[in-house]
Amino acid sequence: MSYIKYNDFVFNAETTRCWIQLNDEGEKIVMLNGYIRAYTTGAMRQQLDSIISGVREPKGKFYFGDQDRFLSVIRKEPLTHTESYEAWPPHEAAWGVKFEAEDPFWAEDPISSSFEYSAPFIINITGIKNSYPVFRVGFTGAPTVTIELKNNTTGESTDYAKTVVDGDVIVFNMEEREITKNGIVDITETEDEGFFSLEPGVNQIELTCSPATCDITYTYENRYR
């Protein structure tokens, strides 16, 4: 890796090791271990203080390798260290810290697709956790009511039982648990409990919008890649 960074602190990539593992629940854990070399206790203490200051904040962005790839993390355990590997004078001190991914996906451009809707379509989630998509549906032609967006794989669906006319745009935001009409929030989770996620693997999505003609854009992110 070119460098390792947490918030504004850049760790020495030559003396720091960073890796990622999954716990028993399939959650992503970021492990950061390293050592420092010093020939006096004062210098060692100063370097350790510097490392501690780098992980003092309990929450932040963890950059691993380059600025385009990061995790949003919470510090899971406080920094630990040993006094030295050698009795005296101390030449090395080991340290380690563990982070839990709060919003655990490698940052990447969201996956998106747009098309004129005519039949159920497939979204394949390659991560190991559910993803929360956003569906943007534009309507042309005849007015319609009772729009249903359904994940046939899970049987879950959400409805918009209001009249839609030519030119309207309805956005189903599954993560924010709200539906907007022409940019204005119209339905939230307090009114409709049908918001759904995408499961890992194949998800077949079906849209009911007849007699109007619908074009649809969906956007999602793979989590826990």
Task: Per-residue pLDDT tens, the chain, 225 aa: give them.
Answer: 567 888 888 888 888 888 888 777 777 788 888 888 776 777 777 888 888 888 888 888 888 766 556 778 888 888 876 666 565 666 778 888 888 887 655 545 688 999 999 999 999 988 777 889 999 999 999 999 889 999 999 999 998 988 999 999 999 999 888 999 999 998 765 555 689 999 989 999 999 988 989 999 999 987 665
- Tokens at 114, concatenated: 């747009």
The predicted pLDDT at position 66 comes to 60
φ and ψ at residue 99, rounded to 5 degrees? -125, 145
Look at residues 108, 71, 58, 81 and name the one whose alpha carbon lies nearest to residue 220. 108
- Residue for token pair 């490698």: 106
- pLDDT of 225 reads 56
23: left (phi over 0), alpha (psi -120 to 50) or beta: beta
Residue ranges in the chain assigned as alpha helix (H): 41-54
pTM of the model: 0.60
Pairing assessment for the beta strands 92-103 and 178-181 based on DSSP bridges:
unpaired
CB distance 203 to 127 below 8 Å = no
Residue with tokens 């899971």: 76
* Cβ atoms 26, 100 nearer than 8 A: no
Measure the CA–CA gap between 45 and 24, rounded to whole angstroms: 36
SS3 151: strand
